[in-house]
């Protein structure tokens, strides 16, 4: 049992794809005294239950399964001899970066960290948050919980399935449940477009003849002990169910894939400021939060579509956190320019940059709020458009990114703001 406070240069909260990539980058940058804290039985995070392929196309130029993708990073962690502890829950982080954690062997212990990387990932929005009326029987699962039961434990949560929400996990689970012998009757989506990647709609629904009903929602759940059926209804533009469109579908299972929420309980308690749209921390171009020495990356920062981008973003956070520990490239009072988002662009990560301090390029990631065909993404410095590109298709389910170049931005020493928006021409 350790009751003395340990001193560690960098603590990484979470051993999923973000935490692993951040730790590797920091170690390569020369931070020797670091620690990954993971609550599960192994490193890899949610990738361990994502046994489908399609991971790593950008990073490794091949299609890996989730566990394979994770293993590439776990192997590096082992090779670089980065210490980690498993089965360990972080209970609290103070503003002064004192980490309190707990596990069976060590009990509660505390670590004073010089830098912290928040990489806790995200969680699924539950039924309750949607106020779906009806009974509360067994057989209602979030898609990720069902994925864990099937892919990790080998248990079938049900045989006749309706899925609400066409986020990627919902689509992936439609295919998985079908392959494991269940009948997926329909995937219903409240919005007039899917929240998932196009390739998943093709490979997980169309290839298996599973109908996708857009602008539909579940308005009732029948069955007192186990789900016996659900009632679907079409919704109007405001998302309100339209009377007369109700359809009862017998089933024993309802899976929900209705959104992911960055898991920022620890961040909030320590005083990290959050962005309203993403529910993730507000960060600068170094992915540092409002608390100096506290960085964030991966799905705890904003929900990503592809893990490749998580890894890329996390490496950046790892490098900057290393620089913080080593006290290089710090500015006493950095002058920030805020990135404003409007006209279809919902948010941006980072939300502010210090031009003087920034590296040669900064990738700005964001999502759009609706489906756009043949429209443009534009970047303005104050009133001047400095970047303009046509995108054949943009959708809320897919993350967009642009690259800001330091050289270009330095041409505007008196700039007030940078604006990113969608334009018709």
Which positions touch another protein (CB under 8 A)? 1, 3, 39, 87, 89, 91, 102-108, 123-124, 126-129, 131, 133-139, 141-142, 144-145, 148-150, 152-159, 180-182, 219-221, 224-226, 241, 252, 265, 268
**C-alpha angle with apex 360: 297 to 320, nearest 5 degrees?**
35
Supply the minimum distance, in Å, between the C-beta of residue 78 and another protein. 25
In angstroms, the CA 400 to CA 409 distance is 20
Kindly tell me which of 124 and 288 has the beta carbon lying closer to another protein. Answer: 124
Q: How far is CA 234 from the centre of its chain?
A: 29
Rounded Cα–Cα distance for residues 103 and 419 (Å): 46
Closer to another protein by Cβ: residue 241 or 344:
241
DSSP secondary structure letter of residue 16: S
Q: Distance between CA 149 and CA 221 in Å, rounded?
A: 22
**Strand pairing report for 183-189 and 212-214:** parallel
Q: Which residues contact 1 (CB under 8 A, 6 or more apart)?
A: 106, 107, 109
Least distance (Å) between residue 109 CB and another protein: 9
| Residue with smaller CB distance to another protein, 139 or 344 | 139
Q: Which is nearer to another protein, 3 or 360 (CB)?
A: 3
CB atoms within 10 A of CB 116: 29
Output 102 or 402, the one with its CB closest to another protein.
102
Contact 388, 371 (CB under 8 A): no
* Helix residue ranges per DSSP H, 295-364: 307-326
Q: Supply the minimum distance, in Å, between the C-beta of residue 344 and another protein.
A: 23
Q: Give me the least distance between CB of 243 and another protein, in Å please.
A: 11
Cβ 349 to another protein, closest distance in Å?
Answer: 22
In angstroms, give the least distance from the CB of 419 to another protein: 28
Closer to another protein by Cβ: residue 183 or 213: 183
Q: Give the nearest distance from C-beta 20 to another protein in angstroms.
A: 20
Select 137 or 369, whichever has its Cβ closest to another protein.
137
Which is nearer to another protein, 91 or 410 (by Cβ)?
Answer: 91
| Separation of alpha carbons 393 and 150, rounded Å | 34
DSSP codes, 95-111: TT-EEEEEETTTEEEEE
Q: CA dihedral in degrees (280, 285, 286, 288; nearest 10)?
A: -40
Residue 387's CB is within 10 A of a number of other CB atoms, namely 17
In the β-sheet with 212-214, what is the strand arrangement from edge to edge? Answer: 140-142, 253-256, 160-164, 183-189, 212-214
In the complex, what is the shortest distance from the CB of residue 235 to another protein, in angstroms, rounded to a whole number? 12
Torsion of CA 318, 324, 328, 331, to 10 degrees: 120
In the chain, how long is the greatest CA-to-CA distance? 67
Cβ-based neighbours of 265, under 8 Å, separated by 6 or more:
none
Residue (137 or 334) nearer to another protein, CB: 137
Contacts of 131 (CB under 8 A, 6+ apart): none
Please report how close the Cβ of residue 138 comes to another protein at its closest, in angstroms: 4
Identity of the residue, 28 or 346, whose beta carbon is nearer to another protein in the bound complex: 346
Cβ at position 32, least distance to another protein in Å: 28
């Amino acid at each position: 049992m350790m009751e003395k406070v340990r001193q560690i240069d960098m603590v990484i909260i979470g051993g999923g794809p973000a935490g692993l990539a951040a730790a590797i980058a920091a170690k390569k940058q020369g931070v020797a005294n670091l620690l990954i804290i993971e609550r599960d039985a192994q490193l890899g995070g949610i990738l361990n239950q994502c046994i489908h392929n399609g991971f790593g196309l950008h990073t490794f130029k091949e299609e890996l399964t989730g566990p394979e993708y994770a293993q590439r990073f776990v192997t590096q962690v082992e090779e670089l001899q980065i210490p980690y502890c498993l089965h360990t829950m972080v209970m609290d982080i103070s503003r002064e970066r004192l980490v309190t954690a707990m596990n069976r062997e060590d009990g509660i212990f505390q670590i004073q960290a010089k830098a912290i990387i928040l990489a806790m990932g995200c969680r699924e929005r539950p039924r309750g948050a949607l106020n779906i009326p009806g009974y509360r029987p067994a057989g209602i699962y979030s898609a990720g919980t069902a994925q864990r039961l099937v892919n990790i434990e080998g248990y079938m949560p049900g045989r006749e399935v309706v899925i609400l929400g066409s986020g990627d996990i919902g689509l992936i689970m439609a295919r998985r449940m079908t392959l494991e012998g269940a009948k997926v009757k329909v995937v219903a989506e409240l919005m007039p477009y899917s929240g998932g990647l196009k390739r998943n709609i093709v490979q997980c629904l169309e290839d298996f003849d599973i109908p996708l009903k857009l602008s539909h929602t579940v308005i009732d759940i029948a069955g007192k002990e186990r789900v016996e059926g659900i009632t679907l209804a079409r919704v109007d533009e405001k998302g309100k169910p339209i009377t007369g469109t109700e359809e009862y579908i017998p089933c024993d299972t309802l899976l929900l894939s209705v959104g992911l929420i960055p898991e920022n309980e620890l961040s909030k308690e320590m005083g990290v400021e959050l962005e309203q749209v993403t529910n993730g921390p507000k960060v600068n171009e170094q992915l540092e939060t409002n608390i100096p020495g506290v960085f964030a990356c991966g799905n705890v920062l904003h929900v990503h579509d592809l893990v490749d981008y998580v890894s890329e973003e996390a490496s950046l956070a790892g490098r900057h956190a290393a620089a913080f520990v080593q006290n290089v490239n710090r500015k006493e009072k950095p002058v920030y320019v805020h990135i404003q988002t409007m006209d279809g662009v919902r948010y941006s990560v980072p939300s502010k940059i210090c031009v003087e301090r920034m590296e040669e390029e900064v990738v700005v990631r964001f999502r759009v709020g609706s489906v756009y065909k043949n429209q443009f993404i534009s970047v303005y410095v104050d009133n001047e458009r400095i970047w303009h590109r046509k995108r054949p298709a943009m959708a809320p389910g897919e993350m967009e990114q642009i690259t800001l170049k330091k050289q270009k931005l330095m041409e505007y020493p008196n700039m007030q703001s940078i604006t990113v928006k969608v334009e018709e021409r």
